[in-house]
Structure 1
Amino acid sequence: MPSVLPLDPPQRLVRALDGHPEPAVAARWLEALPALLERTLEHWGLTAERVVSPGGRGSLVVLVRQPDGTAAALKLHAPASSAAQEAAALAHWNGWGAVRLLDARPADGALLLERLHGEVSLRSLAEAKAMLEAASAVRRLWIPPPEGHGFESVEKHTAAEADAMRAWADADVRPLVDEALSLRAALVAAPAESVLLHGDFRQGAVLAADTGRSPWLAVGPEPLVGERAYDLARLVRDRLHDLMASAGAPAVTRRRMSKLADSLEVDRERLRDWTKYRAVESGVRHLVRGGRKDGETLLEFAGWL
């Protein structure tokens, strides 16, 4: 069966694996990746066309053809990312607002997906149009989770983050971290609702599609169950570097946040608080991993709120 061997993994993936919490596990996975790809192609009778590059930071994506010639995309998850959870969420959405899952082998981290236009995301649109389409796309994903689901709650997910933030934060960022932790505690103490969330929703996670269902479909969920404001919080800071360079950036951010909240009927205060918490958490995480510039940018953004 044709394959893409010898495989040259995209550098974005290789760099991300350098910061993996279990370096030895990541190194073994990367070494075994050509064999895993070969085995998966053979299992589903797929013909590989090319590796998507630059691709993602948590998976290898290969454009393939199914036995009948239909175009598809094969996604191989790196260790510490959950193919089973992504597959479960995509199966539950069943193509409604998201890419359709065609088949899965969670034990191998392998997902077979319908092919979208991976090179064209909402980030290719003008800001106002991108935000309008993003709001439309994420609205379709917010449905009740299936009975007996195994998705992690926002409360549990952020509890682990909160513990890490307490351990990581140094004196310079401690006041901002303490505020973010206080906001999180109040939010999870009185949850507003419980729906299935994308978990990492942003403009770059919505791709152009010609499936006939929608011109834009979400990909790459890190599914959680919780309130919609949590899902919107990542979107508020989209195109952050462009935002930082704009005149009156704090006011622009607050207007963006208010418009998103109102258009999607989400409480403004809760959206602001989740946005601040998620920005601080991400900023501290970047600082710890050596990404000082991005970390400081995120913390400055959090200060605007």
Structure 2
Amino acid sequence: MAFEAPTRLVRALGESVREADDGWLDALPQLLETAVSEGGLTVERLQLPGGRSSLVALVRDAAGTPAALKLAPPGSRPAAEAAALAHWEGHGAARLLSPADQAASGMLLERLHADMSVRSLPEAKSMLEAAGALRRLWVEPPAFPFENVAERTGRQAEAMRACLTPGDPVEPLVTEALAARDELLAAPPQERLLHGTFRQSKVLSAERLPWLAVGPDPVVGECAFDLARLVRDRVEDVVGSPSGSSITRRRVKRLAESLDVDATRLRGWTLFRAVESGVRARRVGRVADSELLLEFAAWL
């Protein structure tokens, strides 16, 4: 079939530099063709602009039922995503329609409305709906070797340190973020299965329920880690506001209260995740994104 990988996906894979993904993009046309043929699927179109870590094709199965076929490179841990989706069984997230153990060759998913996320709602309403969707995902993890928060943030911490140079102006902020991580990991609360990369754009309109989450990069750990990414949603609006610092503090307080999460721990994980994202954006040349994230982090 005629095929051209979405520009957004090509750019993101170029930034990630994961050895596990070497050659995956070149093999993607054949991977798609094989998944479609073996699944008896009919492709309607690719979902564009698509994600940064996967290709999604809108398809119909042999019975004509609409679905979404997702192909993800090995570095994006498709097996873990499929295991989490299978465990949630459609409660709060898109339903996995294909066997979880076949995730490496593609995941067939319940089709949602990709053009309608909770981010399209007014901010107060979008935060409420997103928080409600996230709460439903926090369950006991299944017997699968998911990465845990200590492991994931350990890799990130090493990458942050490696990016620093003597006299780097972001060094104090990085030092604070790393210290916050160490303190948080010293006495973690109860662990749950987490979405891992949750934000408003990951909650889409659906037929079965008003809103369902998509695109997890699941991890096992405390709920505050998951919620921390939501705190900085619409960061460009927050940083652009004359009262951005107070908005940031109110968000931490309100989200912590609404989901019964310790506000101090939420603040710490929000700091770490914002600084880590900011340093990573700087490393790959996304200067504007980096500046937004690091300014936001400085207010925490």
Range into which the TM-score falls when normalised by the shorter chain: over 0.9
Deviation at 1:174, TM superposition (A): 1.1
What's the offset of the Cα at 1:22? Answer: 4.1
Deviation of 1:149 (Å): 2.2
- The question of 1:145 aligning with 2:141 is answered yes
The separation in 2 between residues aligned to 1:162 and 1:221, in whole angstroms, is 21
Query: Equivalent residue of 2:50, what SS?
Result: coil
Distance 2:19 2:236 in 1: 30
1:11 is aligned with what amino acid? Answer: T
Q: Does 1:118 align with 2:79?
A: no
Question: Corresponding residue for 2:188?
Answer: 191
TM-score, normalization by structure 2: 0.96
Shift of 1:17: 1.9
1:165-188 deviation per Cα after TM superposition (whole angstroms, max 9, x unaligned): 111123211111111110000101
Distance, in Å, in 1 between the alignment partners of 2:20 and 2:264 is 43
Percent identity at matched positions?
57
Structure 1 alignment gaps of length 5 or more: none
Aligned match for 1:94, one of 70, 89, 97? 89
Match of 1:85 among 80, 89, 102: 80
Aligned residue in 1 for 2:172 = 175
Give yes or no for contact 2:21–2:75 (8 Å, CA) kept in 1: no
- Residues 133, 25 of structure 1: CA spacing in aligned structure 2 closer, same or farther, 3 A cutoff? closer
Q: Which residue of 1 aligns with 2:104?
A: 107
Q: What is the CA-CA distance between 1:25 and the residue it aligns to? A: 4.5
Residue in 1 aligned with 2:229? 234
TM-score, L = length of structure 1: 0.94
Aligned equivalent of 1:30: 25
CA distance in 2, matches of 1:20, 1:248: 34
1:19 and 1:180 map into 2 onto residues whose CA distance is 23
Report what 2:265 is aligned to. Answer: 270
2:69 counterpart (70, 74, 97): 74
**Is contact 2:279-2:290 (8 Å) kept?**
yes
Taking the TM superposition and a 5 Å limit, the aligned residue runs for 1:256-267 are 256-267=251-262
2:127 paired with 1:131: yes
Q: Give 3-state SS (helix, strand or coil) of 1:102's partner.
A: coil
SS in 2 for 1:133: helix
CA RMSD of aligned residues (A): 1.3
Structure 1 residues 98 and 24, CA, compared in 2 at 3 Å: closer, same or farther? closer
Residues 73-97 of structure 1 show CA distances to partners (whole Å, capped at 9, x for unaligned) of 0000024111100000000000000
Give the Cα separation in 2 of the matches to 1:197 and 1:206.
Answer: 14
Contact persistence 2:41–2:59 (CA under 8 A): yes
| Aligned-residue offset at 1:11 | 1.1
Which residue number in structure 2 is paired with residue 303 of structure 1? 298
How many pairs align?
296
Amino acid at match of 1:172: P
Task: State how far apart, in whole Å, the 1-side matches of 2:52 and 2:73 are.
Answer: 9
Matched-pair contact (CA < 8 Å) for 2:239–2:295? no
Deviation at 1:18, TM superposition (A): 2.0
Letter in 1 for 2:112: L
The CA deviation at 1:244 is 1.5
- Specify the alignment match of 1:42 in structure 2: 37
Contact 1:17 1:23 in 2 (8 A): no
**Residues 126-159 of structure 1 deviation map (CA, whole Å, 9 limit, x = unaligned):** 101000001110010001111x321111011111
Offset at residue 295 of structure 1 (A): 0.9
1:200 maps to 197
Deviations 1:231-271 (A, max 9, x none): 01000000111111222011011111111000111001000
The reply to whether residue 288 of structure 1 matches residue 283 of structure 2 is yes
1:25–1:80: structure 2 CA closer, same or farther, 3 Å change rule?
A: closer
**Alpha-carbon shift at residue 107 of structure 1 (Å):** 3.0
Which position in structure 2 is the counterpart of 1:18?
Answer: 14
Give the C-alpha shift of residue 228 in structure 1.
0.6
Detail structure 1 runs of 4+ shifted over 6 Å in the superposition. Answer: none
Is the Cα contact below 8 Å between 2:231 and 2:270 reproduced in 1?
yes
Determine the C-alpha separation between the residues in 1 that align with 2:266 and 2:144.
Answer: 26
The one-letter code matched in structure 2 to 1:114 is: E
Report the Cα distance in structure 1 between the residues aligned to 2:231 and 2:17, rounded to whole angstroms.
Answer: 28
Q: Distance in 1 between matches of 2:6 and 2:172?
A: 39
Task: Please say if residues 143 and 196 of structure 1, whose CA atoms lie closer than 8 Å, have aligned partners that are also in contact.
Answer: yes
**Unpaired segments ≥5 residues, structure 2:** none
What code does the residue aligned with 1:304 have?
Answer: W
